[in-house]
DNA sequence: GTCTATAATTCGATAGAC
DNA sequence: GTCTATCGAATTATAGAC
């Protein structure tokens, strides 16, 4: 996966670049990486396929650009330990929904089922997002972080990939209310 | 996806058919459907690629044959409601591990991230496996079943797809012990 | 039942004109 | 910066000899 990128400072180039990224993200989300063709993205973006390679170097480079995620760690210092599950649930539910960074996360989740690099990036995201919020001195913190990660991934997978209807019907607050106790049980468990 | 299948009653044909299925399942699990080529399967099975098409009609047909799952519903009538989470966890953990039906489930899980049909089959499997074991008269049973499904899928995804190290280190009993309380909290929740 | 040879597509990526 | 034309590789699937 080459990460270099032809810089295009002109306004026109920038506009094309953005329309490519939008089209790519949409295709990657709905069809996955493998089944998405550069040609289809180009058609959606009303741009020549050759331009995509020019801008992003390769299909892999485009994928990287479309799934670069910058996450801001929320402040949870003030959250009492018994409310951590619900706080994490609220954070996760809102994170995965919407365009930024939800879309990139959903793309990455789907891709991680086929690509080892994408899987490694998912692991890295969660290692940075979950572990820091576990109470200090908690036993088995790495395992608990993995269990919490699994639950959040399961929620996202059930909702956005498998499309379990009852999950799709949940609004964010209701989802957090349902997810919270299960996350909390991981923290409270022996 | 054509499901017809050239019947091959001869012993030699049967043996070839089985070696193809073994090789296919192995490839599908480790590389996913898209990146697995009929040629690679044929090479693993020491058989000509044309034979695979002859036996299974198409790559899709082979995938179907390799992921046909027959699940026996465990008896849980005698399990008290407060132990249901742990019982479900034990059942799920052992189901996903091993060769039968674990291998087919793991293949299907990976494929469901890319293929809508596979996703539908995963939904169907869980609808049949989880819903019947929820206590009668429980409110929001469809939603609770989906939440339980999500947790189990998350566990499987974290362990077998993303490969979260702390989960890989768990033996079946320890995994069930960790998973149980979280599943139970879905049953106990308001 | 098995294999050789190849058809028919499709894809990512490149070269080069404008 | 954009597009036309095309290359070269890889794939599934088929036809037909043995």
| Portion of chain B with pLDDT greater than 70, in percent | 95
Report the alpha-carbon angle A119-A33-B50, nearest 5. Answer: 105
pLDDT at residue B5, as a whole number: 45
Q: Check A164 against B182: CB less than 8 A apart.
A: no
A87 CB near a chain B CB, below 8 Å?
Answer: no
pLDDT class of A74 with cuts at 50, 70, 90: confident
CA distances to B109, B122, B183 from B112, in Å: 5, 7, 23
pLDDT at residue B9, as a whole number: 61
pLDDT at residue A138, as a whole number: 95
Cα distance from A52 to chain B (closest Cα, Å)? 23
pLDDT at residue B1, as a whole number: 43
H-assigned helices in chain B: 11-35, 38-45, 49-56, 59-66, 84-96, 102-112, 116-129, 141-156, 165-168, 172-188
> Looking at chain B, which residue has its C-alpha nearest residue A110?
B113
Chain mean pLDDT for chain A:
93
The closest nt to B12, taking CA to C1', is C1
Pairwise CA distance, residues A93 & A186, whole Å: 17
Q: Write the pLDDT tens digit of every residue in B67-91.
A: 999 998 888 989 999 999 999 999 9
Pick B11-66's CATH classification: 1.10.10.60, 1.20.1250.20, 2.170.190.11, 3.40.50.720. Answer: 1.10.10.60
pLDDT at residue A3, as a whole number: 41
The answer to whether B148 and B88 are in contact (CB under 8 A) is: yes
Whether the pLDDT of residue A1 is over 60: the answer is: no
pLDDT at residue B177, as a whole number: 98
Residue with tokens 């479900």: B88
Chain mean pLDDT for chain B:
93
| Chain A hits for B32, Cβ within 8 Å | 113-114
| Portion of chain A with pLDDT greater than 90, in percent | 87
Instruction: Please provide residue A13's backbone torsions phi and psi, each rounded to the nearest 5 degrees.
Output: -60, -40
Q: Where are the domains of chain B?
A: 11-66, 76-188
pLDDT at residue A13, as a whole number: 76
pLDDT class of B4 with cuts at 50, 70, 90: very low
pLDDT class of A9 with cuts at 50, 70, 90: low
Whether the pLDDT of residue B63 is over 50: the answer is: yes
Q: What is the pTM of this model?
A: 0.94
CATH topology of domain B76-188: Tetracycline Repressor; domain 2 (1.10.357)
Whether the pLDDT of residue B183 is over 90: the answer is: yes
B130 CB near a chain A CB, below 8 Å?
Answer: no
How far, in Å, is the CA of B41 from the C1' of nucleotide D11?
14
Whether the pLDDT of residue B6 is over 70: the answer is: no
Whether the pLDDT of residue B38 is over 80: the answer is: yes
Q: Write the pLDDT tens digit of every residue in B126-170.
A: 999 999 999 999 999 999 999 999 999 999 999 999 999 999 999
| Chain B hits for A169, Cβ within 8 Å | 143
Cα distance from A153 to chain B (closest Cα, Å)? 5
Strand D: positions under 7 A of a protein C-beta atom = 1-5, 10-16
Whether the pLDDT of residue B11 is over 90: the answer is: no
Tokens linked to A188: 């409270």
Tokens linked to A79: 């959250």
How far, in Å, is the CA of A37 from the C1' of nucleotide C15?
21
Whether the pLDDT of residue B100 is over 50: the answer is: yes
A58 touches strand D (CB under 7 A): no
């Amino acid at each position: 996966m080459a990460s270099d990128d032809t810089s295009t400072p002109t306004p026109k180039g920038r506009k094309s670049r953005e329309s490519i990224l939008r089209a790519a993200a949409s295709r990657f989300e709905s069809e996955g990486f493998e089944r998405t063709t550069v040609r289809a993205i180009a058609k959606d973006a009303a741009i020549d396929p050759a331009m995509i390679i020019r801008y992003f170097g390769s299909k892999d480079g485009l994928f990287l650009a479309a799934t670069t995620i910058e996450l801001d760690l929320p402040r949870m210092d003030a959250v009492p330990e018994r409310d951590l599950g619900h706080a994490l649930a609220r954070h996760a539910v809102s994170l995965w929904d919407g365009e930024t960074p939800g879309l990139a996360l959903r793309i990455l989740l789907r891709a991680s089922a086929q690509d080892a690099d994408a899987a490694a990036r998912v692991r890295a995201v969660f290692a940075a997002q979950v572990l820091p919020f576990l109470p200090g001195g908690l036993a088995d913190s790495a395992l608990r972080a993995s269990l919490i990660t699994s639950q959040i991934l399961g929620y996202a997978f059930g909702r956005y990939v498998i499309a379990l209807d009852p999950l799709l019907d949940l609004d964010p607050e209701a989802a957090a209310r349902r997810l919270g106790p299960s996350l909390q049980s991981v923290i409270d468990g022996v």
